[in-house]
Amino acid sequence: MASDSATGEETAPGGRYNFNTVAAVVFIVLAAALFFIIPGQIDTPLINLGGAGQSNLEAETFPQIIAVAFFLLGIWYLFVSFRLRQRNQLRDLNLEAITNVLVTLVIMTAYVGLIIFLGFVVGSFIMVFVMSTYFGNRNFILGFVVALAVPTLVFVLFTKPLVTSLPPFPIDEVIPNSWVIYPPLKYLSNKSIF
């Protein structure tokens, strides 16, 4: 490995491609795949926010615009990557960094199942609380409050004013009708003033 005196970083001998080139190609492929799968992943909106006859835009228009932007950024990154000469510092990661990434992936994978079976608020609460505790939070009261408040506010904002569908708490399957907390929770979930 040769060393670049200006930056102090090692450069790969020979060859013009490096890990940035590989990352750019992956970026381009993902952007292209997203562009083509987006129409099959987006349902027709239940309401037309633009009013009758005011908007002829399809629901997939803006996500596809973002995919095209990612594609163009990937192309730009690909051309720039041939001029970049830096050492791949991912090889220098220690066991703790790799463990943190793997634990995060496991938690996020479990989160998908949690929001399907327990709803967005409860699933997000568990995910945020577990992840913040794993990464060092020892103020459990504050962690509990933040982990409950933020998903609840996001859920209310997205489901009420923005009329977006998020998985609700399966109150009818989890809490028996005879429990004292069932009526207020059922009321809040169906007839919230928000």
Give tens-digit pLDDT for 101-118: 899 999 999 988 888 877
Between CA 71 and CA 30 the distance in angstroms is 8
The amino acid that residue 20 corresponds to is N
Digit-coded pLDDT (tens) for 147-179: 888 888 888 777 767 666 666 666 555 566 676
Q: What is the 3-state secondary structure (H, E, C) of the chain?
A: CEECCCCCCEECCCCCCCHHHHHHHHHHHHHHHHHHHHHHHCCCCCCCCCCCCCCCCCCCHHHHHHHHHHHHHHHHHHHHHCCCCCCCHHHHCCHHHHHHHHHHHHHHHHHHHHHHHHHHHHHHHHHHHHHHHHCCCCCHHHHHHHHHHHHHHHHHHHHCCCCCCCCCCCHHHHCCCCCCCHHHHHHHHHHCCC
For the chain, what percent of residues have pLDDT higher than 90?
Answer: 17
pLDDT over threshold 50, residue 73: yes
Q: Which residue has the higher pLDDT, 19 or 190?
A: 19
Predicted local confidence at residue 48, as pLDDT: 58
Contacts of 59 (CB under 8 A, 6+ apart): 42, 43, 44, 45
Mean pLDDT for the stretch of residues 89-110: 84
Residue 128 has pLDDT above 60, yes or no: yes
Residues paired with 11 in a beta bridge: 2
Supply the pLDDT for residue 67.
92
> Per residue in 54-66, pLDDT tens?
556 677 788 889 9
**Mean pLDDT calculated for residue range 23-39:** 91
pTM above 0.85, yes or no: no
Domain ranges of the chain: 2-91, 94-191
End-to-end CA distance of the chain: 62
